[in-house]
């Protein structure tokens, strides 16, 4: 229990009070409270404490966290400089510490996290792997090696996160390891591994040639079957699109005609049909742009931008410049579109839009885009 808040027995109320206390305490007091909260019995509070510490990483805080994640008690002098109570490095505390270390820019952080990602404790391995993936400066070769190891982990939740990292980063060298991992997981996790494997095959140069055609056919059949379940429909739709599975066109058209499917899911199916070269998808997206369903209309705006459908760019510009309910969504869509005309419109909106929230959104997103562009690797 968080000692300073131990009088609050209800976990949700304790979380709310922790949040309030952070807003009224001094910076050193807030750090002390957060260290105290790292061993709270309520997992969301431990995670919250880790996330909050990740934005308060002084040199002393970072050294204390490094000790904890390695399973070491924080040296007395260091501990006393930070907090009246720093918990012992239990499994739960070490995992919460991994969350905090996601905010680190210190090279030595990666070393302690690599060690933690190979620990006996499965929960610690999981959180250390997630933290390493979040760091901008992690040695990629070392991380590829680690992810390959974790694809063989005895804990299936770790196998899943390793598969998702490999797929998201496009590490084709792990294709065979991911295929083998898919064969080991149980039915409840198989669909998730199938999605990761399909993504990696699709985005690896020569990926199709490196696996048996029967595997590709098996994955496509699995995703077509998943279109029947609302819980898996959206993910299956996207997978069929990036796999270029034209044999799924008839099944996706049926999704458009299913009145009981959520409108957003039907819009997603229409986008997949566009990617697969089917005219029905374009027609459906065009209609969705004027849908009475606000959620479907907004999603359609984002998708026509993602697909770079030039015929809809004037409409996106018109909505973004107006006082329409979806003006903010249209701004985001223009940023997704990314053309010179689209970005020029967002720049104009950042200066002159009549609504403060839309103008500020444009300013923030343009600033973030500029910052991202400025830190791009010149070799990319």
Listed in sequence order, the residues at least 6 apart from 356 whose beta carbon sits closer than 8 Å to its beta carbon are: none
The predicted model gives 126-131 an average pLDDT of 97
Sorted by sequence, the CB contacts under 8 Å of residue 84 that are 6+ apart come out as 32, 36
Q: Quick one: pLDDT at residue 379? A: 38
- Looking at residue 369, what is its pLDDT? 83
Q: For residues 273 and 60, what is the distance between their CA atoms, to the nearest angstrom? A: 54
Q: How far apart are CA 234 and CA 252, in angstroms?
A: 11
SS3 state of residue 90: coil
Q: At what angle do helices 230-242 and 263-275 cross, to 10 degrees?
A: 10
A 10 A CB-CB count for 20 gives 10
Longest alpha-carbon distance in the chain: 70
What pLDDT digit, counting tens, does each position of 291-348 carry?
999 999 999 999 999 999 999 999 999 999 999 999 999 999 999 999 999 999 999 9
Average pLDDT over residues 356-376: 78
Query: Per-residue b/e over 325-334, b at no fewer than 16 CB within 10 Å?
Result: ebbbbbbbbb
Q: Using the CB atoms, write b or e for 257-271: b if 16+ within 10 Å.
A: eeeebebbbbbbbbb
What is the pLDDT, as a whole number, of residue 2?
59
pLDDT at position 370 over 80: no
- Percent of the chain whose predicted confidence (pLDDT) is above 70: 96
Per-residue pLDDT tens digits for 47-86 = 999 999 999 999 999 999 999 999 999 999 999 999 988 9
Domain extent listing, the chain: 1-138, 313-373
Residue with tokens 């969705």: 288
pTM of the entire predicted model: 0.85
pLDDT at 374 (0 to 100): 39
In this prediction, residue 66 carries a pLDDT of: 98
Mean pLDDT, range 162-169, rounded to an integer: 97
Question: Could you give phi then psi for residue 165, rounded to 5 degrees?
Answer: -65, -45
> Is the pLDDT at 260 greater than 90, yes or no?
no
Q: Is 356 exposed, middle or buried (0-12, 13-18, 19+ CB in 10 A)?
A: exposed
State yes or no: pLDDT of 375 exceeds 50: no
Q: How far is it, in rounded angstroms, from Cα 74 to Cα 78?
A: 7
Among 312, 252, 313, smallest CA distance to 277 is for 252
């Amino acid at each position: 229990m968080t000692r300073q808040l131990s009088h609050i027995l209800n976990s949700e109320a304790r979380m709310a009070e922790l949040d309030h206390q952070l807003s009224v305490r001094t910076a050193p007091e807030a750090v002390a409270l957060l260290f105290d909260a790292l061993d709270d019995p309520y997992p969301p509070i431990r995670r919250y404490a880790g996330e909050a510490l990740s934005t308060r990483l002084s040199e002393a805080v970072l050294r204390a966290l490094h000790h904890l994640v390695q399973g070491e008690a924080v040296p007395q002098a260091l501990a006393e400089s930070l907090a009246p109570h720093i918990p012992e490095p239990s499994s739960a505390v070490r995992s919460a510490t991994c969350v905090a270390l996601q905010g680190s820019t210190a090279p030595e952080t990666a070393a302690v996290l690599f060690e933690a990602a190979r620990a006996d404790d499965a929960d610690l391995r999981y959180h250390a792997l997630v933290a390493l993936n979040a760091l901008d400066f992690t040695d990629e070769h070392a991380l590829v090696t680690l992810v390959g190891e974790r694809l063989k982990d005895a804990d299936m939740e770790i196998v899943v996160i390793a598969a998702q990292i490999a797929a998201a980063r496009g590490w084709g060298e792990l294709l065979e390891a991911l295929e083998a991992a898919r064969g080991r997981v149980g039915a409840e996790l198989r669909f998730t591994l199938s999605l990761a494997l399909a993504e990696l095959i699709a985005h690896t140069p020569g990926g199709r040639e490196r696996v048996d055609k029967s595997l590709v056919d098996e994955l496509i059949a699995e995703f077509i079957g998943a279109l029947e379940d609302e819980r898996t429909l959206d993910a299956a739709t996207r997978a069929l699109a990036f796999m270029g599975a034209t044999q799924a066109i008839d099944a996706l058209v049926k999704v458009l005609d299913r009145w009981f499917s959520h409108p957003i899911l039907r819009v997603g199916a229409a986008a997949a049909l566009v990617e697969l070269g089917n005219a029905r998808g374009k027609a459906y997206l065009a209609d969705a742009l004027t849908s009475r369903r606000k959620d479907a209309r907004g999603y359609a705006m984002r998708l026509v931008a993602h697909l770079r459908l030039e015929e809809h760019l004037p409409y996106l510009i018109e909505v973004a410049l107006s006082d329409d309910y979806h003006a903010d969504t249209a701004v985001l869509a223009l940023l997704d579109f990314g053309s010179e005309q689209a970005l020029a419109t967002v720049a104009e909106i950042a200066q002159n839009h009549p609504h403060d929230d839309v103008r500020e959104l444009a300013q923030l997103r343009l600033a973030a885009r500029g910052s991202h562009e400025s830190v791009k690797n010149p070799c990319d």
